[in-house]
Amino acid sequence: MRTEFSIAQLADPDLAEANSILRNCVHCGFCTATCPTYVLLGDELDSPRGRIYLIKDMLEKGKAATGDVVKHVDRCLTCLSCMTTCPSGVHYQHLVDQARVHIEKTYRRPLFDRLIRSVLAAVLPYPRRFRLAMVAGWAARPLGRVMPGRLGAMLSLMPASLPSPSPTERMQVFPAIGRRKGRVALLAGCAQRVLSPSINEATVRLLQRHGREVVIPNAAGCCGALVHHMGRDGDSHDQAKANIAAWKAEIDGDGLDAIIINASGCGTTVKDYGFMLRNDPNVKDSAAKISAMTWDISEYMADIGMDMPVRVSDVTVAYHAACSLQHGQKITAPPKALLKQAGFSVVEPKEAHLCCGSAGTYNILQPAIAGRLRDRKIDNLTATQPQVIATGNIGCMTQLAGGTDIPVVHTVELLDWATGGPAPAKLSDRA
């Protein structure tokens, strides 16, 4: 793609990066076939290629974002399926991230839009605030079916019950079982530790059982993905720096072999810290090191080798590939291979490359499109006739659970169960 950025514009490292990304695009349109919003809506401007044209025009001319540009960029799920499909290596992720920052700085959203985004940014990344909000929301949950739009979407995502706080939320060290073979840090996360603390508990047990000492570091919190995808780069960079400082303290202390993440949306962001903070001389080297040390739990277990299961299961598992795992981190085979090794019968749905509609806060901010994508995904998953659905991301779990009675669990919960841990609570009455 031909670009016309001025010499002065190219002195800006962000615009220079955008220029490089844009020049790789050859207008081939392969991305349109795998873009969920284009598949649903059939609008060229709701495809990666269409959005690239809008973003190019906005950045190249230094214009403030218009309502039309904002509409189509907001509809992007950032599922990154286009990057898997693209034969030219267009790094759409970094381009749309930059576009969102530009939108945040140059476009004034309607009042309700500003309010709901501010509430999400102020609540979801902070577990205590989120837990309090969940308690209040749980009481109003029955109204989710009658309230319109985004408020109804938020209430409908509320779980039927709220788990008690987990011991894994506190700063501590979990010793390895048997001979210690390594020391890893686990990102406890924010929303996940409130919605499903059993995921962290299963992760800790699985790692301990495989000889890893697991540390929950002090001051490591939200990965920054939520506000990052809202274009609030100042907030996301601050959250990233807090995590980098917490993990660096562990590296400089007793040492770390790896940073383990069990929410694939978070993993995609942490693995991008090196790029996000590349222009900050005070932290860029540490950020790059942290990114290089970060592993998804399925990726890590495949690398170190998982023990043979202690119980044989005939459970049929439909594996849902989270977009942030299959497209963002390019991890496709390990989760399925581990589940099969653990004794499960693994089936895959049609259109496995398409997003379920969760996409961070997308199912709240774009509930109509998200609902259509969820229903389409559920139809494909149900067609495989599974007894349980497994995935590697809490957002997907919450989204899918709202559309089916089939239990939805995290992949690591099944691996923990197969190798000696308790049955996932959602399966305990069927185990």
Report d(CA 65, CA 60) in Å as an integer: 12
Q: What percent of the chain has pLDDT over 70?
A: 96
Query: Looking at the domain assignment, is residue 285 inside a domain?
Result: yes
Same domain, 125 and 229: no
What span, in angstroms and rounded, lies between the C-alpha atoms of 369 and 367? 6
User: Cα–Cα distance between 282 and 119 in angstroms, integer?
Assistant: 31
Q: What is the pLDDT of residue 143?
A: 64
> Same structural domain for residues 244 and 321?
no
Residue 2 lies in a domain: no
In which residue ranges of the chain is pLDDT below 70?
Answer: 139-148, 312, 429-431
Number of folded domains in the chain? 4
The CATH number linked to 411 is: 3.40.50.1860
Instruction: Look at residue 150 in the predicted model and tell me its pLDDT.
Output: 75
In a domain, 283, yes or no: yes
Q: Left if phi > 0, otherwise alpha if psi is -120 to 50, otherwise beta: which for 211?
A: left
Alpha carbon of 88 to those of 23, 82, 85: distances in Å? 10, 11, 9
| Structural domain includes residue 223 | yes
Residue 130 lies in a domain: yes
> Does residue 205 belong to any structural domain of this protein?
yes
DSSP 8-state class, residue 426: G
For 253, residues 6+ apart whose C-beta sits below 8 A from its C-beta are none
Task: Tell whether 136 and 189 lie within a shared domain.
Answer: no
Domain boundary pick from 252, 274, 301: 301
Residues in the chain: 431
Q: Which of 203, 231, 237 lies closest to 101 in space, CA to CA? A: 231
Q: Does residue 161 form part of some domain?
A: no
115, 102: one domain: no
Please tell me whether residues 129 and 70 are part of one structural domain.
no
CA nearest to 267, candidates 346, 203, 338, 174: 203
* Same domain flag for 297 and 313: no
For residue 184, tell me if it sits in a domain: yes
* Locus of tokens 């907030």: 235
Specify the pLDDT at position 136.
Answer: 77
Is residue 102 located within the same domain as residue 116? no
Alpha helices per DSSP H over 108-224: 111-123, 127-139, 149-156, 191-195, 198-209
pLDDT score of 145: 65
Output the pLDDT for position 200.
Answer: 96
Q: What count of other Cβ atoms lies within 10 Å of the Cβ of residue 40? A: 17
CA distance 118 to 71: 18
Give me the domain span that covers residue 183: 167-301
CATH number of 68's domain? 1.10.1060.10
* Same domain as 214, residue 295: yes
From 106, 122, 142, give the residue that closes a domain.
106
Could you tell me the CATH number of the domain that includes residue 250?
A: 3.40.50
Residues 177 and 271 in one domain: yes
Q: Cα(330)–Cα(333) distance, rounded to whole angstroms?
A: 9
Q: Are residues 349 and 327 in the same domain?
A: yes
Residue 342's nearest CA partner among 297, 305, 288, 395 is 305
